[in-house]
Every structure is written in structure tokens, then in C-alpha cells.
Amino acid sequence: MLTGKKIVLGITGSIAAYKAAYLCRALIKKGAEVQVVITPAGKEFITPVTLSALTQKPVVSEFFTANDGSWHSHVDLGLWADLMLIVPATASTIGKMANGIADNMLVTTYLSMKAPVFVAPAMDLDMYAHPSTQQNLEKLKSFGNQIIEPTVGPLASNLEGKGRMEEPDRIVEVLEAFFEKKGELISKKILITAGPTYEKIDPVRYISNYSSGKMGFALAEECASRGADVFLISGPVQLQTVHPHIQRINVESAEEMYRAALDYFPKMDLAILCAAVADYKPVHCAERKIKREAGENLTLELVPNPDIAAALGNNKTDRQRVVGFALETDDEIAHASEKLQKKKLDFIVLNSLREPGAGFQGDTNKITIINSKGMIKNFPLKSKKAVAADIMDTLRNEGYAY
Ligand code: PMT
């Protein structure tokens, strides 16, 4: 998977920098071409001589070579690379990357990078846990960068906790998995619904639910990173899309989501219906704000919204696949299996509000995938990003060609 891949390896000033030498060797052994860019502080921890001997290339650190004035182009590196890897990444470099502080060659190269970027933080546990570091990491994620989480273990400070850089062999595995999946969905068109819907009561009020859109957006990013063209129909959420292959269609009500989904579906290979669509809407939306009448109850009459999943399930052709979600609070497997059948889905992703860390709003989810052939596959609690990868891997591994 790494043969011929061009990798810019950014090294920063951490005690874990010595591990970058092992990483260099492992990447080259796998056939990758590695160009090291090191910060001035990084050179205090590992010498450029070691790194250039391993990579067979001069190490880049300054903007110019002092004796002949030759210019090292960060722009050229940004165009050359198939991937940039920052290992180890200190709190300081992460902060500079998150805020565009381009005062060294590594950060300038990062800002010019056209290829995907992976970051493996390494630092003391308190520095890692600090809100400043966590906010900067969140910012990097929102730019589409992949964070290779540090592990829990003994640290250079003699303390023990989360902050230990991931081992080089594991980092190589992450990159191999990335390149393996990268082209898997090329030329596939995938429709994803995400977020809540708003059903208007009057000009200032609506019926809705707690969906943040995080699960659906994680799926959209995962499919796009595997090469698909993604059409993301989203209810009102506070999230940004990052990948250029995601076309976002914003809607507000279930009716609007239904019309957009039906419009796009004929050209799609796969639809994943992750939105928390309101099942009912008020019969009428009042033209003016409904006034409070002292002592009187207010009765709202509701009518059912169209069922998007069922409409796509009923209309799908032999080459199209439809995946639904089921959000349950009781008798989970039975209810999800019933929805799978009724809506004619290929498989359904069950998440239960009884599971801590699952469902609405958080960054994690815990799912069970059920298909029409009787497969029931449980997954542990994971980040929504990892859950999205599990869903796409299961589709592939269970032979759902589309
Ligand atoms: O957005 P997050 O905060 O990250 O939360 C994620 C989530 C909990 C919203 C998500 O994981 C999830 O479970 N989404 C489906 C929620 C839901 O409405 O489930 P349901 O069991 O009511 O619906 C079953 C399926 O039919 C779903 O695929 C739903 O999108 C679809 N549906 C439902 C009603 C309707 N009118 N049209 C539909 O397409």
C-alpha cells in the first residue's frame, strides 16, 4: 500500500522524536519515499544526519540554505506529497498549525499542503488534557486532518497518562489502511441524510429533536475520503463540511428533505439515512405568533410526514442499496428489525439511548448492524468517525456491491 507513496514527515521538538527514525525506516522498508521537514527544536532531539542517512535525502529545516542562499519551497513540497505526517507533534506545533502561525518551515509546508495530513501528538498528560490543546486538536480535525491519538502509558515526565505518542508500527498500519481504503468508492455516488428537521408551528416555534448531525457528517467525510461523491442532505446543524467531494444540500423540514432525497436518489449508488426526521408535523403553520391565552390549554393537531427511508427502499433498483438507522429506547433488536423489513432496507444501524455514550450529540456512538439475512453484529463504543468506518467496512465485507 505504501509503495511509491511520497510522504512528507514533519518532526517537532519532543523526546519522542527518536521514534521518528524508526518510523522513517519502516516507511522506506514498505517502499515509500520520505522527505523529512524538521523544526529547529526537533533538531535538538534527533540529528538531521541520522534522518538524511535513513531517507537518502537532505533534511529540510530552514527556508534558505545559509551558504548558497538556495530556497526550500514549501509550496513544491505541498504539491509533491501524497501525504503529510507530523510525528511527533508537540502542543506548540499543533497550536501553530491550528492558528496559521507560519514561523518555521514545517508549519509553512503544512499550510501549503494539498495532500491529507496525519498528526500524532506527543506530550505530557496535563498539556494534552489542557483545553487549549484540545481546542487546537478539534480545529485541526475541522480542517480535515486526521489525529492519531496518543496512548496511555509512562511519559518522559515520569508521570503516567494519556500523551504517549503512538508506536511507529501502529502509525504505519494507520497509513496502510488509509491508502487501502482511499480509492475504494471512486466514481460511486452516495446520498446521506443528517441532522434534525424543523416542523414549524408558527413563525417563531417548531417541533424538532436533539440530533446534532455529527453521525451523518462523519459518514459523509468517511465516504468522501474513500473516493465517493457525496450528496449530504442536512437539516439545520452547526457543522461544517470539509472534504471537497461533499456537496451539501441544506433543508429545514422533513418535507424538504423528502423532496431533495427523491430528486437525487435516481443517480445514486447508495443512500444512508442517518437524519432524525420528525415523524409528525403540525397540520397548519400559524401565520402569526400564537398568543398565550390565560388558563387555556393549547392543542396541536399533527399529521405524519413522508417516510424518506421507506420511499427510497421501495423505489430502489437492483444496483442501488439503502441503509437506514434506528434510534430506539426499548426492545431494540425487534424494533430495528421491523423497520429494516417495513422500509425494505439492505441493512439497518441500531443505536440505543439506553447505551451510555450512544446516540444524539456526543462524539461517540455504539451500534449494532442488522441485515435482512439475519446478521446481527455488535460493535463497542467508538468515536463517530470510527463508527462511520465500521459501517462502510461492513457494507464492503458483507458483499453489498453497489
Ligand atoms: O446527529 P447526531 O447528534 O450525531 O445523532 C445521531 C443519530 C442518533 C440521530 C443517528 O445515529 C440516528 O440514529 N439517526 C436516525 C434517527 C431516527 O430518526 O431513527 P428512527 O428509528 O426514528 O427512524 C428509522 C429510519 O427511518 C432512519 O434511517 C430515519 O432517517 C428514517 N426516517 C424516519 C422518519 C421519516 N419520516 N423518514 C425517514 O427517512
- pLDDT tens digits for range 318-362: 999 999 999 999 999 999 999 999 999 999 999 999 999 999 999
Pairing of strands 367-371, 321-328: unpaired
- Distance CA(43)–CA(365), nearest Å, equals 41
Ligand 1, atom 27: closest residue by C-alpha: 325
Residue nearest to atom 18 of ligand 1 (CA): 276
Q: Whose CA is nearest to atom 13 of ligand 1?
A: 327
Q: Is residue 309 within 6 Å of ligand 1 at its C-beta?
A: yes
Cβ burial, residue 207 (10 Å; 0-12/13-18/19+): middle
Which ligand 1 atom sits closest to the C-alpha of 210? 3
Cβ of 307 below 6 Å from ligand 1 = yes
Helices (H), 183-307: 214-225, 254-264
Residue 314 vs residue 398, higher pLDDT: 314
Is residue 281 within 6 Å of ligand 1 at its C-beta?
Answer: no
pLDDT tens per residue across span 259-278: 999 999 999 999 999 999 99
Q: Identify any residues that bridge with 230 across adjacent strands, giving them in sequence order.
A: 190, 246
pLDDT (average), residues 183-203 = 94
State the Cα–Cα distance between residues 278 and 282, nearest whole angstrom: 11
β-bridge partners, 369: 349, 377
Q: At what angle do helices 168-182 and 18-29 cross, to 10 degrees?
A: 40
pLDDT at residue 183, as a whole number: 80
Share of the chain above pLDDT 90, in %: 83
Is any ligand 1 atom within 6 A of the Cβ of residue 197?
no
- Name the residue with cell 441544506: 250
Ligand 1 atom nearest 218 alpha carbon: 4
Q: Which ligand 1 atom sits closest to the C-alpha of 324?
A: 28
| Bridging pattern class, strands 199-202 and 205-207 | antiparallel
pLDDT value at 233 more than 90? yes
Q: pLDDT tier at 171 (50, 70, 90 boundaries)?
A: very high
DSSP string, 308-321: HHHHHHHH--TT-E
Give the mean model confidence (pLDDT) for residues 194-209: 98
User: Which residue lies with its CA nearest to atom 17 of ligand 1?
Assistant: 276
The pLDDT of residue 158 is: 86
Assess whether the C-beta atom of 214 lies below 6 angstroms from ligand 1.
yes
Q: Is 339 in the pocket of ligand 1 (CB under 6 A)?
A: yes
Grid cell listed for 290: 400564537
Rounded mean pLDDT, 180-198: 91
Query: What is the mean predicted confidence (pLDDT) over 108-113?
Result: 95
The Å distance, Cα 201 to ligand 1 centre, comes to: 21
**Mean pLDDT of the 12-29 span:** 96
Residue of minimum CA distance from atom 5 in ligand 1: 360
**Which residues does the annotation mark as catalytic?**
209
> For residue 66, what pLDDT band results from cuts at 50, 70 and 90?
low
Q: Is the CB of 273 under 6 A from ligand 1?
A: yes
Confidence of residue 142 (pLDDT cuts 50, 70, 90): confident
Between residues 400 and 297, which one has the greater pLDDT? 297
- Look at residue 221 in the predicted model and tell me its pLDDT: 93
For residue 71, what pLDDT is reported? 72
